[in-house]
């Protein structure tokens, strides 16, 4: 398990006024040795939101909170590196925790795919989201934006109630979508940075350099890079992103908690 105290001093639990984001996994596209794919735990005012549920994230989630404590799940798109642990969560919710009506927000393609195998005893309440959907999920106001990544993939602008700071999450995207679609001046942007500049243009993702350039154009204040392929040295990614961004950059260390 990684550190629960980050350089900016947030602890694992925070206080009610804090908005914290705990990294459950940050490997891009497939898990690395001992590391999980995309997933984050957002906490504010006692509400716990699981954002993306890639392989390995459910195991890490339970080192921070219990499965009964998950108030809502948001899934960015139907690629399995962003949702496959939902299968285990389904089993735990239905047969172990006997939960009902757990809200799961996802694009239509993923809702349809999952609903087809779900019966009336499903513990999940599927709610479709799409480009420009605005929805309050607990104390978080989400506004979604479709990115440059097939199939329908939704980035999010996340505004916590009673706190002026704003979080941006790019989900997966190529460089044809701009972070500024989430608004200028984000306090923290969690951006995919799948590879280094030498692979730009080879798949619908961004390099660390492109993530830094996009965050700079959006006048973001801090950049947390994630969805890094396991073959890439994250320190190199940070160096590349920092040069392009010109501001503070960290990579999303698994199980680290960051304060918004």
Provide the binding-site residues for Zn ion, judged by CB under 5 A.
79, 81, 172
Q: How far is the CB of 118 from Zn ion (least distance, A)?
A: 23
Rounded-to-10 torsion of CA 251, 183, 244, 254: 0
78 and 107 Cβ atoms separated by less than 8 Å = yes
Complex with Zn ion: residue 9 or 33, whichever CB lies closer: 33
Q: Give the ranges where 7-103 is alpha helix by DSSP (H).
A: 57-61, 86-91
Q: How far is the CB of 187 from Zn ion (least distance, A)?
A: 24
Q: How far is the CB of 87 from Zn ion (least distance, A)?
A: 17
Complex with Zn ion: residue 134 or 199, whichever CB lies closer: 199
> What is the C-alpha separation between 188 and 210, in angstroms, rounded?
17
> What is the C-alpha separation between 49 and 61, in angstroms, rounded?
11
Q: How far is the CB of 110 from Zn ion (least distance, A)?
A: 11
Complex with Zn ion: residue 159 or 192, whichever CB lies closer: 192
> What is the C-alpha separation between 204 and 96, in angstroms, rounded?
39
Of all residues in this chain, which one has the CB nearest to Zn ion in the complex?
A: 79
Complex with Zn ion: residue 85 or 172, whichever CB lies closer: 172
Complex with Zn ion: residue 93 or 155, whichever CB lies closer: 155
Q: How far is the CB of 24 from Zn ion (least distance, A)?
A: 14
The pair phi, psi for residue 150, each rounded to 5°, is -85, 150
From 42, 31, 218, 61, select the one nearest 137 (Cα to Cα).
Answer: 42
């Amino acid at each position: 398990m990684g550190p629960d105290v980050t350089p900016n001093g947030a602890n694992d639990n925070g206080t009610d006024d804090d908005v914290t984001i705990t990294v459950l996994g940050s490997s891009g596209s497939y898990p690395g040795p001992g590391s999980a794919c995309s997933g984050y735990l957002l906490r504010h005012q006692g509400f716990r939101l699981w954002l993306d549920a890639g392989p390995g994230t459910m195991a890490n989630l339970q080192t921070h909170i219990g499965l009964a404590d998950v108030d809502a799940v948001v899934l960015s798109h139907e690629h399995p590196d962003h949702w496959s642990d939902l299968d285990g969560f389904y089993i735990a919710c239905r047969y172990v925790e006997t939960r009902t009506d757990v809200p799961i927000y996802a694009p239509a393609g993923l809702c349809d795919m999952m609903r087809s195998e779900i019966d009336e005893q499903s513990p999940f309440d599927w709610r479709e989201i799409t480009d420009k959907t605005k929805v309050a999920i607990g104390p978080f106001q989400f506004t979604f934006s479709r990115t440059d990544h097939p199939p329908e993939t939704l980035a999010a602008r996340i505004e916590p109630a009673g706190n002026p700071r704003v979080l941006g999450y790019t989900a997966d995207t190529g460089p044809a979508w701009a972070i500024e679609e989430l608004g200028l001046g984000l306090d923290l942007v969690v951006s995919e940075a799948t590879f280094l500049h030498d692979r730009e243009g080879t798949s619908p993702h961004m390099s660390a350099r492109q993530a830094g350039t996009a965050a700079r154009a959006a006048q973001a204040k801090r950049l947390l890079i994630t969805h890094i392929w396991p073959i890439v040295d994250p320190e190199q990614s940070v160096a590349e992103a920092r040069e392009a961004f010109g501001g503070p950059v960290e990579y999303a260390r698994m199980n680290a908690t960051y304060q918004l």
